[in-house]
Amino acid sequence: MTKQLEAALEELRPGLQADGITIEPDLFRPANFIKTATSNVRDSLILGGVLVVVVLFLFLFDLRTAAISCTAIPLSLLAATMVLERLGVTLNTMTLGGLAIAIGVVVDDAVIDVENIVRRLRENARSSQPRPFALVVLDATLEVRSAVVYATFAVILVVLPIMMLSGLTGRLFAPLGLAYALAVLASLAVALTVTPALAIALLPGHVPPRDPPVVRWARTAYELLLRRLAQRPRFVIAAASVCTIAGCAALPFFSGEFIPELNEGHFVAHVSAVPGTSLEQSLRIGARIADAVRQLPAVRSVAQRAGRAEQSSEDTWGPHYSEFEVDLQPGLSGDEADKTQVALRRIFAGFVGVSSSVMTFLTERIEETLSGYTAPVVINVFGNDLDVLDQKAQDIARVVGEVAGATDVQVQSPPGLPQLTIRLRKPDLERWGFDAVDVLDVIRTAYQGDVVGQTYEGNRVFDVITILDAASRKNISTIADLPLHSPRGFYVLLRQVADIYEVSGRYQIQHEGARRVQTVTTNVTGTDVPSFVRRAKALIAAKVQLPSGTYVQFAGTAEAQSRSQRDLVFNSLIAGVGVILLLSIVTRNWRNLMLILTNLPFAIVGGVLAVFVTGGLLSLGAMVGFVTLFGITLRNSILMIAHYEHLVEVEGMRWNLDAAIKGATDRLIPILMTSIVTGLGILPLAIGRGDPGREIQGPMAVVILGGLVSSMALNLLVLPTLALRYGSFEPARDEFERATVTAEPKAE
């Protein structure tokens, strides 16, 4: 759309220049941010894919097996993109972010399948009676099929709470969750069909006889470490418990954030002078402000919009109100943009008699969608008496200004608009024979105008308007000399039938839900919004006395964040029930089910540590990251427990330390590979979390990255120890054996 508009303006440019009109088409160009944001997320997606491929080649150390595994990446992402297109979902920063987060996960199923196929083929090659190649591939695929299918469904169930979010958060995160779920589901289909087919086609006669060097070294070191840890089970369990409790206990102490500041490279500054300020004066003040703002080295251009269009504007501001479009130099980092925002606020604060607010455009639109105002904290004062509302709003604004972090505190509809009151005197009207309505109609015609006819010029029609001349209308003192023609034929001055005096009035009376309301807004810097709101509520309750019938209500980001968090927790509980039911089908044993679930709280530890290292700010995106992390970490636990069950039930091993270590070493490489490729897949998002387009997905990636480290440690070090002590793995028995076992006690 922007390109088409600019092309149309370019066609108009010669004619406009001939009339002395200069066009500046890029004073505010949102397409710049869209292009930069999508490019950054796309680069993260590509870089993550490259890192994943490198790790796969390093671990598998074979071109054919690595190529089979890597095939899952383009096939899964393309399939997910095709479904998104059919559903009418665009490729934006959120859907691209969902695909970027899934880049490491989509290869997991294929890696697990390929690794098991190659391992079984090596064992078959060493066997005295080798089985047919295709049969070995089929059995190896079926061996992990159930675990892979159930693990994928568990991931999708965990992601469902994200897709079920409502309101603005749902519009933001649901496309991300949908893209992620579709990519994971497509990867399952690839692992069950394309991967074994490619293995049969490419691997005969080309299976490496030995494990890659990295794999041999990792298995040897891991087995030695696991045997040592198995001798100290109490220490391992105690250490894991302490870390888990510490991580969970730290969560409530983190600062909260709804949506991070978007690095758009453009600020919108709202400046309000005293009500009643003329348009000329607003422009004069604006010129001085623009000159000061242009001195900042990061500023590229400044444009002012003063007042409003009388008949075509949705805003109700008067001529005292202005908006400044402040465009920054391209390529500024997030830190530089933040410093520029602070400098802008300092400049506006230096102009006495004006109040201001500085925000980015998209952040402003989000705030306005949440509360109707372009500020993260909105305090509504409801009541019946307008004078009381004005007074209490001023008191609240003063108190809120004392809270640490408050900036750009504004009363949205302040009183003080100069008004001229004309009060007609009934006795004088009757003495001169005037009707009150006729007198008021004359005043309206004189100062507002009235259509008295039409004139024609070709095929165009123009209204003929009667109105007092401009010079007389601008001079308020001359209104008293307005001549009135009485029905009796006399001319009487307005002062002879009316009292004329100036008062202080309101240019706007706000209502919400049929209730009168006065609103105080404020931006927040240097602290998180939820804690700021808590302090503001306490201070208002202590210092502002509200009369009967007047009450305060908070709105804005803090309320939206609290509501979204409740929705996410509630939806997660429902999804948790579904996950438990699914896992009960997989394990068929409550003790093994609990072993899988122990991975979830331990995954929190790494996520919490990652949030702490990156500033201790727990945004809604980070909370969504925790939900996504639970789904990813469930996979490895399911695969480990399912392999233990396979060793005992199918291969007939006795459950002891050797079986636990063999099962763990068999799953070492798949768990290492899936965890590392998932981490590397989202690493570009985590590193560039402050860049345009990565502001929301960055905190998610940080949480997932940190949680993967701790959950991988649990799967590889703690879970085998727990499974050895508390797991329940028994050999499978046929129907005849079970009948015999149950019949013997009765015979005795």
Q: Where in the chain is the domain with CATH 3.30.70.1430?
A: 262-373
Q: Where in the chain is the domain with CATH 3.30.2090.10?
A: 418-505
When pLDDT is averaged across residues 33-49 and rounded to a whole number, the result is: 83
Entry pTM = 0.75
DSSP state of 488: T
**Are 144 and 112 within 8 A, CB to CB?**
yes
Q: What SS3 state is found at 321?
A: strand
Q: What is the mean pLDDT of the chain?
A: 82
pLDDT at 747 over 50: no
Q: How far is CA 157 from CA 184, 271, 566, in A?
A: 12, 48, 18
DSSP state of 514: T
When pLDDT is averaged across residues 303-330 and rounded to a whole number, the result is: 79
Q: How many residues does the chain have?
A: 748
pLDDT at 247 over 80: no
pLDDT recorded at residue 311: 62
Query: In 557-704, where do the E strands start and end?
Result: 617-619
What is the crossing angle of helices 167-202 and 620-649, to 10°? Answer: 30
pLDDT recorded at residue 533: 86
pLDDT at 738 over 60: no
Which candidate, 449, 444, 518, 530, places its Cα nearest to that of 484? 444
d(CA 439, CA 487): 11
Q: How large is the C-alpha radius of gyration of the chain?
A: 35
Phi, psi of 551 (to 5 degrees): -145, 165
d(CA 702, CA 608): 10
DSSP state of 715: I
pLDDT recorded at residue 406: 85
Q: What SS3 state is found at 23?
A: coil
**Per residue in 124-141, pLDDT tens?**
888 778 888 888 888 888
**Per residue in 391-434, pLDDT tens?**
888 899 889 888 888 888 888 877 777 788 889 999 988 888 88
d(CA 231, CA 229): 5
Pick from 143-147, 265-269, 485-489: least confident = 143-147
Query: In 543-643, where do the E strands start and end?
Result: 551-556, 617-619
pLDDT recorded at residue 314: 62
- Exposed (0-12), middle (13-18) or buried (19+): which is 410, by Cβ within 10 Å? buried
pLDDT band at 744, cuts 50/70/90? very low
pLDDT at 603 over 80: no
pLDDT at 312 over 60: no
d(CA 539, CA 520): 15
When pLDDT is averaged across residues 253-277 and rounded to a whole number, the result is: 79
pLDDT at 461 over 60: yes
Q: What is the CATH number of domain 262-373?
A: 3.30.70.1430
Highest mean pLDDT among 265-269, 474-478, 666-670: 265-269
d(CA 288, CA 294): 10
pLDDT recorded at residue 342: 87
Bigger pLDDT: 640 vs 252: 640
d(CA 56, CA 712): 17
Top-level CATH class of 2-253+588-732? mainly alpha
Cβ partners under 8 Å of residue 576, min gap 6: none
d(CA 598, CA 9): 62
Give ∠ CA 527-533-537 in degrees, rounded to 5.
140
Token pair 């045997």 is found at 227
Q: How far is CA 460 from CA 27, 298, 311, 464, 466, in A?
A: 35, 49, 21, 13, 20
**Are 362 and 261 within 8 A, CB to CB?**
no
pLDDT band at 315, cuts 50/70/90? low
**Are 467 and 413 within 8 A, CB to CB?**
no
Which candidate, 81, 48, 39, places its Cα nearest to that of 175? 81
pLDDT recorded at residue 4: 92
d(CA 445, CA 435): 16
d(CA 247, CA 254): 11
pLDDT band at 219, cuts 50/70/90? confident
**Per residue in 159-218, pLDDT tens?**
888 888 887 778 888 888 898 889 989 988 888 888 888 888 888 877 777 777 777 888
CA 651 vs. chain centroid, Å, equals 48
pLDDT at 358 over 80: yes
Token pair 């899936």 is found at 674
pLDDT recorded at residue 61: 76
CATH 3.30.420.40 fits 418-505, yes or no: no
Query: In 614-696, where do the E strands start and end?
Result: 617-619
Phi, psi of 524 (to 5 degrees): -130, 130
d(CA 354, CA 358): 13
**678-692 in b/e burial notation, b at 16+ Cβ within 10 A?**
bbbbbbbbbbbbbbb
